[in-house]
Amino acid sequence: MYLSFTDADLIRLPRWVGTANYSALFGDGTFLRSLEVTATFGLSVTGLETLLGLALGFLMHLRSRFSRLLQAVVFAPVVLPLTVTAIAWGYLVNPGSGAINRLLERAGVPTLGWLQDPGLALPTLVLITVWKGVGLPAVLYLAGLKQIPGELLEAAEVDGATPSQTTRRVTIPLLGPTTVLVVFLSLVSTVQSYVLVLLMTQGGPLGRTHLIGYFIYQQAFQFFHMGYAAAASCVLFGLLLGLGWLQLRITERRVHYA
Amino acid sequence: MRKARPVQDTLVLLVTAVFAAPLVWMVLTAVKSQADVYMGPLWPRSVHLENFRLAWETAPFGRYFLNSLVVASVTTASVLLTSILAAYAFARLRFAGRDWLFLLALGTLMVPGEVLLVPNFVTVKRLGWLDTYAALVVPFAASAFGIFVLRQTFRKLPVELEEAMFVDGASPWTVLWRLYVPVTLTSAAAAAIFVFLGAWNALVWPLVVTGSTAMRTVQVGLASLIYDQGYNLPVLMAAATLVALPVLLVYFAFQRLVVEAALQSGLKS
C-alpha cells in the first residue's frame, strides 16, 4: 500500500509522490483498456464456467459406468501447470500446423488465426481458461446435487411434475448457494489471472488480451515502475474487495430465504 | 460394474474425450518425428521416444526438477507444521487476544496472491534474498487457509478426550501430537497435497525472484522453452509431458483427496 504512493524503481530510494500514481493510472489509456478487457474476460469465463459447470455436474451425476472417469478427466486440467496448458493449447490453436486448423482445412472450412486475429484472441483465451478451470465448478455442482434429498424429487414426481419441470423448478433453485459460490470463485480468479497472457499473447494483438494482471506484471517487472504497479495492484485489490462484499451481501440474503 | 446405459454412457464418454483431447494430442505429438508434425497424419506414423531424451537435454531439467522438488517439499512441510501449531493454539489454548489474532490471520485470506506480487518482491529484494531458496519458500511458508481448515477439524474433537489426557499428566505438546494430529491425518494429507501441487505449479513468483539457472524451477525452465523461437515442436511437447507427468501421477493416485481439498478451498469463502 505504502509503495503505491512512491516512485520506487528499485534503483533509487523510493520518494513520496502522494496520489500522483493514481491520477496517472486513470489517465493511462493502456490501464483503462486493461480494465475493460479484464471485465469482458472475467464475465465471459464466469458465465461459461457456471453454465458448463452445471451441465457437467449433471452429467457426472448421471448413473453411468464412466462417471468417475469423466470426473477425473474434467478435473485434471485444474491441477495442470499453466505452462503445460499454454504449450498444449498453443500448438492446438497454431495457425499453420495446429490440429484445429488442420481439421478445419480437411473439412474445407477456412482456417482461423486463433490468437493472431484481434477479434478472436480473447475468445480463444476464454476457451482455454474455461477448459482449465471448469473442473472446480463441475465438482462443486456435483457435491450440491448429491446433497439434494431424493424425497424432494420424488415428491415433485408424485405431484405430476415432468423431469424437466423438476430440474428447472426444484433442482436448480436448490443449487442456488452453489451457483453464488461458483460465480464469485470464478470471477475472483479470472479478474487476477494473466499467466496464459504472459505465456501466449503478451497482451496482444493490439492490446486485446491486455488483462490488468498483465499490466501490473509488465509495469513491475519489465519497466520496473514498482510504485505505479503497486497502485494498480491496489485498484485490483479494491475490485476484489468489492466482489467479496457483494458476495457476502448475496449470501446473507440467501441464508434468510432458506 | 453398473449396467450399461447406452445413451448416458456414450454422452459421458464423448465429453470425457473432448476434455482429454488437448493432453492426448500433446503426448501424441511428443512421440512424432518433426516432419510428421507439419505434414504427416494426425496419428504418429512412428514412435520417437528419443524426443524425451532431447527434451531433458535442451535445458538443465535435472537441476530444475531438483529445485522444484526441494521448494515444494519444504513449503509443504513448513505449511503443515505452522498450520498444525497455530490451529491447535487457535482451537484449544486460551490466551489474550486469541480471537482477535485469528481474525487477523483469516484477513490475510482476503488478500489475493496477485495483489501481493509487487510488495513481496520489493520486500524480498530488500532482504537480499533474490535468487535464493529462501525467496522461493519463505513467503509461502505459512497459510491462513491451512490454519483455518485444521482449526475447524480440531474443534470437532470432543474436549473431554483432551481433558482425560491432561488428567493422566500429558502436556499440551503430547496432546497435540498424540491425539489431534493422528485423528486429522486425512484432512492434513489433503491440504498437504494441495499445497505441494500449488508450489510445484507456481510460475510467476519463481520467474521474478530467480535469475540464475541454478535456482530456476521446472515451470520457469519450461516457460523459457516457449519463448525460445527455434524450438523443435515434438521436443517442446515432450518437455511439457515430462513436467505434467508428476502432477498427473500425484493427481490420479490421490484424486479423492485432491478434489476434497479443492472443494474445501472453494467452500471457505
Q: Taking CB atoms and an 8 Å limit, are A97 and B37 in contact across chains?
A: yes
Q: Within an 8 Å CB–CB cutoff, is residue B259 touching chain A?
A: yes
pLDDT in the model for residue A15: 62
In chain B, the largest separation of any two C-alpha atoms, in whole Å, equals: 77
Chain B positions in Cβ-Cβ contact with residue A195 (cut-off 8 Å): 203-204
Cβ atoms A24, A228 nearer than 8 A: yes
CA of B89, closest CA in chain A: separation in Å? 28
Q: Within an 8 Å CB–CB cutoff, is residue A139 touching chain B?
A: yes
| Average pLDDT rounded to a whole number, residues B193-215 | 84
Q: Within an 8 Å CB–CB cutoff, is residue A221 touching chain B?
A: yes
Contacts of A96 (CB under 8 A, 6+ apart): B38
- Domain span at residue A167 reads 2-8+15-257
Q: Within an 8 Å CB–CB cutoff, is residue A246 touching chain B?
A: no
Q: Out of A66, A91, A237, whose CB is closest to B237?
A: A91
Q: Out of A70, A81, A184, whose CB is closest to B244?
A: A81
pLDDT in the model for residue A57: 93
Could you please report the per-residue DSSP string of B196-260? HHHHHH--HHHHHH--SGGG--HHHHHHHHHH-TT--HHHHHHHHHHHHHHHHHHHHHTHHHHHH
pLDDT in the model for residue A55: 93
pLDDT in the model for residue B96: 75
Provide the domain count of chain A: 1
- pLDDT over 90 percentage in chain A: 23
Q: Is the pLDDT of residue A128 over 80?
A: yes
CA of B145, closest CA in chain A: separation in Å? 15
Higher confidence at residue B110 or residue A232? A232
- The 10 Å Cβ neighbour count of residue B198 is 18
Q: Within an 8 Å CB–CB cutoff, is residue B224 touching chain A?
A: no
Higher confidence at residue B109 or residue B268? B109
Mean pLDDT check: name the lowest of A235-239, B25-29, B76-80, B99-103. B99-103
Q: Which of B77, B125, B80 lies closest to A9 in space, CA to CA? A: B125
- Per residue in A61-93, pLDDT (tens digit) is 887 888 889 999 999 999 999 999 988 898 888
Q: Is the pLDDT of residue A250 over 90?
A: no
| Average pLDDT rounded to a whole number, residues A174-183 | 88
Chain B positions in Cβ-Cβ contact with residue A230 (cut-off 8 Å): 118-119
pLDDT in the model for residue A73: 93
Nearest Cα residue in chain A from B110:
A241
Chain A positions in Cβ-Cβ contact with residue B115 (cut-off 8 Å): 192, 233-234, 236-237, 240
Q: Within an 8 Å CB–CB cutoff, is residue B55 touching chain A?
A: no
- Per residue in B109-156, pLDDT (tens digit) is 767 777 778 888 888 888 878 878 888 888 887 777 788 878 888 888
CA of A191, closest CA in chain B: separation in Å? 10
- In which region does residue A103 sit, left (phi positive, over 0), alpha (psi from -120 to 50) or beta (all else)? alpha
CA of B117, closest CA in chain A: separation in Å? 8
Cβ atoms A78, B262 nearer than 8 A: yes
Q: Is the pLDDT of residue A257 over 60?
A: no
CATH code at A153? 1.10.3720.10
Q: Taking CB atoms and an 8 Å limit, are B243 and A8 in contact across chains?
A: no
- pLDDT over 70 percentage in chain B: 94
Angle formed by the axes of helices B218-227 and B185-201, nearest 10°: 30
Higher confidence at residue B14 or residue B144? B14
pLDDT in the model for residue A258: 41
CA of A56, closest CA in chain B: separation in Å? 9
In chain A, the largest separation of any two C-alpha atoms, in whole Å, equals: 76
**Average model confidence (pLDDT) across chain A:** 84
Cβ atoms A205, A118 nearer than 8 A: yes
Q: Is the pLDDT of residue A195 over 50?
A: yes
Q: Binning pLDDT at 50, 70 and 90, where does residue A105 land?
A: confident
| Average pLDDT rounded to a whole number, residues B98-107 | 78
Q: Is the pLDDT of residue B1 over 50?
A: no
Nearest Cα residue in chain B from A64:
B9
CA of A83, closest CA in chain B: separation in Å? 6
Higher confidence at residue A150 or residue A16? A150
Q: Within an 8 Å CB–CB cutoff, is residue A100 touching chain B?
A: no
Cβ atoms A96, A111 nearer than 8 A: no
Beta-bridge partners for A16: A6
Rounded CA-CA distance B1/B62 in Å is 43
Chain B positions in Cβ-Cβ contact with residue A84 (cut-off 8 Å): 26, 222, 240, 243-244
Selected for mutation to probe chain A from B122, B193, B194, B263 (highest A CB count within 10 Å) is B122
| Average pLDDT rounded to a whole number, residues A194-220 | 86
Chain A positions in Cβ-Cβ contact with residue B258 (cut-off 8 Å): 75, 79
Q: Which of B212, B221, B218, B192 lies closest to B68 in space, CA to CA? A: B218
CA end-to-end span of chain A: 40
Q: Within an 8 Å CB–CB cutoff, is residue A78 touching chain B?
A: yes
Rounded CA-CA distance A62/A43 in Å is 29
Mean pLDDT check: name the lowest of A2-11, A120-129, A153-162, B206-215. A2-11
Q: Binning pLDDT at 50, 70 and 90, where does residue A17 land?
A: low
Q: Is the pLDDT of residue A96 over 80?
A: no
Q: Within an 8 Å CB–CB cutoff, is residue B134 touching chain A?
A: no
User: For residue A104, what are the CA distances in angstroms to B23, B54, B233?
Assistant: 20, 32, 21
Q: Taking CB atoms and an 8 Å limit, are B12 and A221 in contact across chains?
A: no
Rounded CA-CA distance B16/A72 in Å is 9
Chain B positions in Cβ-Cβ contact with residue A216 (cut-off 8 Å): 114, 117-118
- Per residue in B74-87, pLDDT (tens digit) is 999 998 888 888 88
pLDDT in the model for residue A254: 63
**Average model confidence (pLDDT) across chain B:** 82
CA of A131, closest CA in chain B: separation in Å? 7
Q: Taking CB atoms and an 8 Å limit, are B118 and A3 in contact across chains?
A: yes
| Average pLDDT rounded to a whole number, residues B217-241 | 83
Domains and CATH numbers, chain B: 60-267 (1.10.3720.10)
pLDDT in the model for residue A12: 55
Chain B positions in Cβ-Cβ contact with residue A233 (cut-off 8 Å): 114-119
Chain A positions in Cβ-Cβ contact with residue B247 (cut-off 8 Å): 79-81
Selected for mutation to probe chain B from A6, A54, A74, A83 (highest B CB count within 10 Å) is A83
CA angle B111, B113, B117 (to 5 degrees): 115
- pLDDT over 90 percentage in chain B: 7
Rounded CA-CA distance B101/B114 in Å is 24
Could you please report the per-residue DSSP string of chain B? -PPP-HHHHHHHHHHHHHHHHHHHHHHHHHTS-HHHHHTS-SS-SS--THHHHHHHHHTTHHHHHHHHHHHHHHHHHHHHHHHHHHHHHHHT---TTHHHHHHHHHHHHHS-HHHHHHHHHHHHHHTT-TTSHHHHHGGGS--HHHHHHHHHHHHHS-HHHHHHHHHTT--HHHHIIIIIHHHTHHHHHHHHHHHHHHHHH--HHHHHH--SGGG--HHHHHHHHHH-TT--HHHHHHHHHHHHHHHHHHHHHTHHHHHHHHHHHHHT-
Report ipTM (2 d.p.).
Answer: 0.83
Mean pLDDT check: name the lowest of A11-15, A59-63, A201-205. A11-15
